[in-house]
Structure 1
Amino acid sequence: MRTWEQVVAFAVGLPEVEESTWYRTPALKVAGKGFARLRDEAEGGLVLMCGLDEKAALLASGDPAFYTTPHYDGYGAILVDLGRVDPAQLEELVEEAWRLKAPARLRRR
């Protein structure tokens, strides 16, 4: 099982990541743009930014670690159950979420 603290510990290793808040919940940002946040509506739930194609693929995989709600329909974010997600896959998704929001100068590093 992964925790928010473990997500933060990994993410702060990426360039210019800062802990912050987003919609009054703990979040991670790069250059002032949010790419991950802890949901207060669902214990253990994590919102990660992603492309719509990636979201569709994760949902189609049938992996119970990934889900969505009607609120996120048509929006580039996937919900992740921290209690079920594979740790290596989570790190990959966090890094991809960072890439989506990071300025080009940081992505080139």
Structure 2
Amino acid sequence: MIRLADIRSYAMALPEVVEKPHFRLPGFRVADKLLAHLEKGDAHAIMCVGQAEARTAAAAQPDIYEEVWRNGRIFVGLRVDLAKVTEEGMRELIEHAWRNRAPKRLVALHDSR
């Protein structure tokens, strides 16, 4: 099972990520844009990946992933079951969320290293 400490470790390893609560729950941001946060109860996390990636993941493994929409119209991200996702899968999602939300200059700098 992936825990908050794991998510924190994966997220904080990426450039310019800060931990900042999101509605009083643990959240991680880059350039003040949310990239991941835990849901109440710590059983699920929401990853701010692209809509196409979320759709693909949810279709491939609906027991682990679920698309999240607000009011049925606004795409929010990908809900991840922390008891079922693998460590590798979670690391990849956090990096994808970071790439989705980080400024392009920061992603380019990171990739050039």
- TM-score by length of structure 1 reads 0.89
RMSD: 1.7
Work out whether residues 51 and 76 of structure 1, in 8 Å CA contact, stay in contact via their aligned partners in 2.
no
Distance in 2 (alpha carbons) for counterparts of 1:11 and 1:72: 28
Residue identity over aligned pairs, in percent, reads 29
Matched, 1:30 2:21: no
Amino acid at match of 1:77: G
Number of residue equivalences: 108
- Secondary structure in structure 1 of the residue aligned to 2:79: strand
Unaligned runs of 5+ in 1: none
Give the match for residue 8 of structure 1: 8
Change (3 A) 1:69 1:101: closer
Work out whether residues 55 and 76 of structure 1, in 8 Å CA contact, stay in contact via their aligned partners in 2.
no
- TM-score by length of structure 2 reads 0.86
Work out whether residues 34 and 101 of structure 2, in 8 Å CA contact, stay in contact via their aligned partners in 1.
yes
Cα offset, 1:56, TM superposition:
1.0
- Secondary structure in structure 1 of the residue aligned to 2:20: strand
Query: Per-residue displacement from partner, 1:10-35 (whole Å, max 9, x unpaired)?
Result: 11110001010112211000011111
Give the match for residue 104 of structure 1: 104
- Secondary structure in structure 2 of the residue aligned to 1:50: coil
User: Structure 1 residues 74-83 or 59-68, which shifts more?
Assistant: 59-68
Aligned structure 1 segments of 4 or more residues deviating by more than 6 angstroms = none
Unaligned runs of 5+ in 2: none
Question: Structure 2 matches for 1:77-92, cutoff 5 A?
Answer: 77-92=77-92
Give the match for residue 49 of structure 1: 48
Amino acid at match of 1:34: L
Cα offset, 1:63, TM superposition:
4.3
